Amino acid sequence: MNVLVIGSGGREHALCWKIRQSSSLEKLHALPGSDAMGKICDRVDLEMSDFENISKYCLDNNINLVVVGPELPLSIGVTDFLAGRGIKVFGPSKKGAKLEYSKEFAKEFMKRNGIPTADFRIFSEPSTAKMEIKKMKFPLAIKADGLCAGKGVRICFEEREAIRTIEDFMEKKVFGASGERIVVEEFLFGEEASAMAFVDGENVLTLPLSRDHKRVMDNNEGPNTGGMGALCPINIATETFNQIQEDIIKKFALGIKKENIDYKGIIYAGLMLTKNGPKVLEFNVRFGDPEAQAVLPLIENDFLSLLYSSASGNLRQEKLKLKKQTCLTVVLASKGYPENPETEKEISGLEDLENSSEVMLFHAGTKFKAGKWITSGGRVLNLTVLGDTVDEARQKAYFAATRVKFEGMHYRKDIGLY
Ligand code: AMP
Ligand code: GLY
């Protein structure tokens, strides 16, 4: 098979690495890819939104499967466009992607399909929102409806904060049109977890649960980020896993079928494990980043076969085979991340890790210039390791982290501790 991966981050590097292990792979292409991905596949110099030329490239190069990494191309309909030209895609249609790009749509979908989630109200008028929150019980989670690169959620502990958030989102429009409508929801207490499942339009195959570490500093302090590290699997009761499977993943599958949503790819449910059972905080319509980096190394199946079966409606023929180990990924980030990351810093110490049999090194924000690796983003590298225990994985990952250096580098020291 000839495969094209769309994207350029740590998740896509991990996807390419995993796809490369499949015996059915002929040639791997990445669009636009990164310098690191360029070492294991052919790069395609096109914009992710240039559907016409992407489609032409696929047809010219006999691409059998397109695997879409990030949400943005999905939210502007890359799947619908390519599928319309007979190209097979792993990634949902635009209507399916709406579950991520509109929180309002996601909440209404959950309500219609009996999927447990926090109680909520939707507002399109700031004056009404300000009046109504006075009657609500704090804390509240206030969310901009549209995509905000992970920054569109504020937890408000008192009325003043909530009013300010409504003003920021709806009046000052700090997120542009994304904040014109808001979801105000009940605050849920509990531990968070990420559930991801393959979907083929009808059937699902749930991956082991993982945990992202979203805040920038240890002990979950500081601002939210895209994710500073991940652990898989997490320690949860079988009963809870079964509940997630039955009440969330399977109801999602019934919902898309009932509502005629063409959905082949990954569904990712960000969960709060509350004392009243697991509830969905958000849906994402693609692999988590950095969750993918911590989940993919545990998969023993031919990965390309899993992707292709999902895209072709044949998931029923697949059975998940997993390593009985723990996988951990630690993100090395730039100074100033998440607000204002510094870039263009030289990275040293990667040669040892590139040749290591212990560490999987996934590049997120790097480029290769004049024989040197340079930082080019907030999240720079993912150091991923397998261990027989969480402790062993932590030791290996944090030893690897001591080998890498760039000015201003920081990372969390508590990945996997909870
Ligand atoms: P989201 O983008 O909706 O997943 O929200 C980002 C983060 O905000 C989540 O990972 C949670 O830590 C927090 N959060 C969102 N909604 C709630 C809620 N209803 N109750 C408690 N925390 C929440
Ligand atoms: N790690 C969270 C996300 O991928 O959205």
Which protein residue's CA is at the shortest distance from atom 2 of ligand 2?
288
Q: Which helix (H) or strand (E) holds 380?
A: strand 379-387
Give 213 Cα–ligand 2 centroid separation in angstroms: 10
Structural domains of the chain ordered from first start: 2-91 (3.40.50.20), 120-186 (3.30.1490.20), 189-317 (3.30.470.20), 326-401 (3.90.600.10)
What three-state secondary structure class fits 322? Answer: strand
pLDDT for the residue 151 = 83
Ligand 2, CB within 6 Å, residue ranges: 212, 226-227, 284, 288-289, 291
Q: Is 89 helix (H, G, I), strand (E, B) or coil?
A: strand
Taking CA atoms only, the protein residue closest to ligand 1 atom 7 is: 153
The CA distance from 123 to 135, in Å, is 14
- 327 CB burial (10 A radius; 0-12, 13-18, 19+): buried
Q: What is the dihedral of CA 172, 94, 301, 251, to 10 degrees?
A: 90
The predicted pLDDT at position 24 comes to: 96
Tell me: cis bond preceding 233? Omega within 30 of 0 counts. Answer: yes
> Which letter does DSSP use for residue 200 in this model?
E
Atom number, ligand 2, closest to the C-alpha of residue 150: 5
Mutation to probe ligand 2, out of 196, 212, 271 (largest number of atoms < 8 A from CB): 212
Strands 89-90 and 65-68, by their bridges, are parallel
Pocket probe for ligand 1: among 281, 286, 289, the residue whose CB has the most ligand atoms within 8 Å is: 281
Instruction: Please tell me what DSSP assigns to residue 410.
Output: B
Low-confidence ranges of the chain (pLDDT < 70): none
Contact between residue 248 and residue 116 where contact means Cβ atoms under 8 Å apart: yes
User: How many other CB atoms are there within 10 angstroms of residue 275's CB atom?
Assistant: 7
**According to the model, what pLDDT value does residue 418 have?**
83
According to DSSP, residue 168 is labeled I
Closest ligand 1 atom, CA of 187?
20
Q: How far is CA 384 from CA 37, 68, 165, 254, 327, in A?
A: 16, 22, 37, 35, 7
Ligand 1 atom with minimal separation from the 118 CA: 19
DSSP 8-state class, residue 351: H
Peptide bond into 32 cis (omega under 30): yes
Residue nearest to atom 19 of ligand 1 (CA): 187
331: number of CA atoms within 13 Å, CB side? 34
Which ligand is closest in space to the CA of residue 226?
A: 2
Pull the structure tokens for residue 271: 């969960």
How far is it, in rounded angstroms, from Cα 70 to Cα 32? 12
Q: 159: burial class by Cβ within 10 Å (0-12, 13-18, 19+)?
A: middle
